[in-house]
Amino acid sequence: MAGDRTPRVAALVALAVVLSTVGVAAVASPAAASGHTQTESAFVVDLAEDGSATVSLTVTFDLTTDSERQAFEALRENTTARQQRAAQFGTRMDAIAARAESDTGREMAVRDPSIAFATRNDTGVVTLAVTWAGLAAEDGDRLVLSEPFTDDFAVDRPFSVVAPNGYQITSATPSPDGQTQTDATWAAGSTFENFEVTVAPGEETTTGGESGPGFGIAVGAVSVLAALLGIRRFGR
């Protein structure tokens, strides 16, 4: 609606001002290397065979006018600001990993923070991602994902766990709202008491497609990105 466009343009302009003083280098989706491309608002844990994961937060923005699209493109081209925002996201995830490491006694580390800007029709896509080493526990040939999601976890968007290539999801608690052999998705607003996902080697598969997620440990997904980028979210 026309009445909604002015606030959206203002938000993008405000973001441009923030990024010009502080925002990332990667042009492709950070999750693309594993075959999983996220183009909808989501929080995704894309597991690897060694228990590490690509953890990504994707937020989408409406780009229905020329002003919005131009502002979004200006942000995408600000390499310095993007690098700084990616580093801030990495710092936040590192603090959560440190707490999870203390709770589990299992060594964890966060590295390779990145941010990606993309467009799809009239939608702008921003994805923040890190590689999280030691996120899932190794139990023989199985991987078990629990902390840091089992306690203070809340989602304001879909949350997905993707099994490594060649693995299948053998159990998931609580019951996902959608599940295939290789990924499980919980709807926005789900609760995660006693959360646990187990994956084990199965038939060779290729993970990919579009899944959705959201992150709320200490801070919600939207507030994380809003704090990092300096604007409120709009759109999906």
Instruction: Give tens-digit pLDDT for 183-236.
Output: 999 998 888 889 999 999 986 544 333 333 333 333 344 444 444 444 333 333
Name the band, by pLDDT with cuts 50, 70 and 90, for residue 129: very high
Task: Count the neighbouring beta carbons within 10 Å of the beta carbon of residue 124.
Answer: 23
pLDDT given at position 1: 43
Helix axes 79-104, 66-76, angle to 10 degrees: 70
| Total structural domains within the chain | 1
pLDDT given at position 203: 63
Is 234 within the bounds of a domain? no
pLDDT given at position 56: 92
Helix axes 66-76, 2-21, angle to 10 degrees: 20
- Please state the rounded mean pLDDT for residues 66-74: 83
Q: Is 105 exposed, middle or buried (0-12, 13-18, 19+ CB in 10 A)?
A: exposed
Model pTM above 0.75: no
Is 236 within the bounds of a domain? no
* CA gap 12, 52 in Å, rounded: 34
Is 27 within the bounds of a domain? yes
Residue 27 clears pLDDT 50, i.e. is over it: no
Size of the chain in residues:
236
Q: How far apart are the first and last CA of the chain?
A: 15
Contact call for residues 43 and 90 (beta carbons, < 8 A): no
The residue segments making up the domain with residue 131 are 2-229
Is 28 within the bounds of a domain? yes
Q: Is 230 helix (H, G, I), strand (E, B) or coil?
A: coil
